[in-house]
């Protein structure tokens, strides 16, 4: 049986969401967030499972406080509708398979992080929350459990991150030169951001579009 372009796109989206949400649920229900828990080394010090919660943007970046969090969640939902509409258009116009799969990866990643923001605050008993007293996000102790009470309202949940690749870890003792502004003398670590499967899907999708844009958009030029 021949699989249509639309079915291939849906299959990619489904598989990414399945892996992303399954891993996030396991992490959330079995580990306490950093720095309270012990990291799980996967490939020595090169790759670790390092559970942290991200209240803002991808790769652990933050965006304002509670109000900024809500704006970001609304923007994500609008972006998903926009990307979804464009993906449907690509399928109908029989665009190159690579372009369709790239946008499928981006859409799946965006949906995966939206699910965290929308529902994790409702279904888990604890998570990172914003404290107006210290004007920052506060983590929690222990391991979360599923709960009907939740820890935050709709669209106010935190995104679960866990993939950590410290290619040059701080344990090596590298430091920024003292003459560098802002970071002079501080420990150097590469790669520092902690991310998840959804972030990876978005990055891979964008990467392939940038690399193969001439091939992907040739049909539109013609």
pLDDT of residue 218: 73
For residue 17, being part of any structural domain is answered with no
Would you say 114 and 22 are in contact if contact means Cβ atoms under 8 Å apart?
no
For residue 103, being part of any structural domain is answered with yes
* Paired tokens of 221: 């030029």
For residue 8, being part of any structural domain is answered with no
**Active-site option among 116, 136, 141, 199:** 199
Q: Among all chains, which residue has been given the structure tokens 């929350």? A: 129
Closest CA to 106 of 201, 38, 188, 208: 201
| DSSP secondary structure code for residue 55 in this structure | S
The pLDDT profile of the chain, 222 residues, written as one tens digit per residue, is 788 999 999 999 999 999 999 999 999 999 999 776 667 888 877 788 999 998 765 544 555 566 667 777 888 899 999 999 999 999 999 999 999 999 999 999 999 999 999 999 999 999 998 887 877 788 898 999 999 999 998 988 999 999 998 776 666 666 667 777 776 777 766 677 889 999 999 999 999 999 998 888 775 555
For residue 124, being part of any structural domain is answered with yes
Which domain does 63 fall in, by range?
Answer: 27-221
Question: At residue 168, what are phi and psi to the nearest 5 degrees?
Answer: -120, 90
pLDDT of residue 170: 63
CB atoms within 10 A of CB 62: 15
pLDDT of residue 135: 76
pLDDT of residue 166: 79
pLDDT of residue 136: 77
Whether 199 is catalytic is yes
Would you say 28 and 120 are in contact if contact means Cβ atoms under 8 Å apart?
yes
For residue 13, being part of any structural domain is answered with no
Spatial separation of the C-alpha atoms in residues 47 and 173, rounded to whole Å: 18
Would you say 124 and 152 are in contact if contact means Cβ atoms under 8 Å apart?
no
Spatial separation of the C-alpha atoms in residues 173 and 189, rounded to whole Å: 9
pLDDT of residue 57: 56
Spatial separation of the C-alpha atoms in residues 60 and 27, rounded to whole Å: 16
For residue 15, being part of any structural domain is answered with no
pLDDT of residue 120: 96
* Paired tokens of 54: 């991200």
**Domain total in the chain:** 1
For residue 150, being part of any structural domain is answered with yes
At residue 44, the 3 state secondary structure works out as: coil
pLDDT of residue 80: 94
Q: Give the residues across from 137 on adjacent strands.
A: 130
pLDDT of residue 83: 96
pLDDT of residue 133: 83
Q: Give the sign of the dihedral formed by CA 197, CA 199, CA 201, CA 203.
A: negative
CB atoms within 10 A of CB 111: 22
For residue 199, being part of any structural domain is answered with yes
């Amino acid at each position: 049986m021949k699989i249509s372009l639309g079915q291939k796109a849906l299959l990619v989206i489904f598989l990414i969401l399945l892996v992303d949400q399954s891993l996030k649920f396991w992490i959330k229900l079995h580990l306490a967030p950093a720095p309270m828990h012990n990291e799980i080394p996967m490939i020595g010090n090169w790759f670790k499972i390092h559970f942290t919660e991200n209240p803002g943007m991808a790769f652990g970046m933050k965006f304002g406080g509670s109000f900024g969090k809500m704006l970001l969640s609304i923007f994500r939902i609008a972006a998903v509708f926009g990307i979804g509409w464009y993906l449907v258009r690509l399928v109908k116009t029989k665009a190159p398979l690579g372009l369709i799969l790239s946008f499928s990866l981006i859409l799946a990643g965006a949906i995966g992080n939206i699910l965290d923001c929308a529902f994790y605050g409702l279904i888990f008993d604890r998570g990172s929350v914003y404290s107006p007293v210290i004007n920052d996000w506060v983590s929690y102790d222990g391991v979360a459990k599923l709960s009907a009470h939740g820890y935050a309202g709709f669209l106010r949940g935190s995104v679960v991150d866990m993939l950590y690749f410290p290619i040059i870890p701080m344990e090596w003792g590298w430091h920024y030169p003292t003459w560098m502004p802002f970071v002079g003398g501080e420990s150097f670590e590469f790669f520092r951001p902690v991310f998840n499967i959804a972030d990876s899907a978005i990055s891979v999708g964008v990467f392939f579009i940038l690399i193969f844009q001439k091939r992907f958009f040739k049909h539109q030029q013609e």
